[in-house]
């Protein structure tokens, strides 16, 4: 099994750059996202969805900080 984040723009369209990384476990994928989200946001990724192989395992999650 491979865990991969799908990167999306604000409208839900796929963002292919940077190329998504693959992970052996869900925990690895989630830990990586916890560290990498600021760089992804700077690259134009507004939200992410987690896939296990080709199965959606998490609904789109925003990378934008909540409005104060």
Q: What is the dihedral of CA 25, 22, 30, 41, to 10 degrees?
A: 180
For 47-55, what is the mean pLDDT? 96
For 11-38, what is the mean pLDDT? 94
What percent of the chain shows pLDDT beyond 70? Answer: 99
- Taking the C-alpha atoms of residue 19 and residue 31, their distance in angstroms, rounded to an integer, is 18
For 15-20, what is the mean pLDDT? 90
Q: Which helix (H) or strand (E) holds 22?
A: strand 22-23
Amino acid 40: pLDDT: 96
Amino acid 33: pLDDT: 96
For the chain, where are the alpha helices, taking DSSP H only? 26-42
């Amino acid at each position: 099994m491979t865990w991969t984040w799908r990167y999306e723009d604000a409208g839900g369209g796929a963002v292919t750059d940077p190329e998504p990384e693959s992970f052996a476990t869900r925990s690895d994928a989630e830990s990586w996202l916890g560290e990498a989200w600021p760089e992804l946001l700077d690259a134009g990724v507004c939200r992410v969805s987690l896939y296990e192989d080709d199965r959606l395992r998490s609904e789109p999650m925003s990378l934008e900080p909540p409005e104060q």
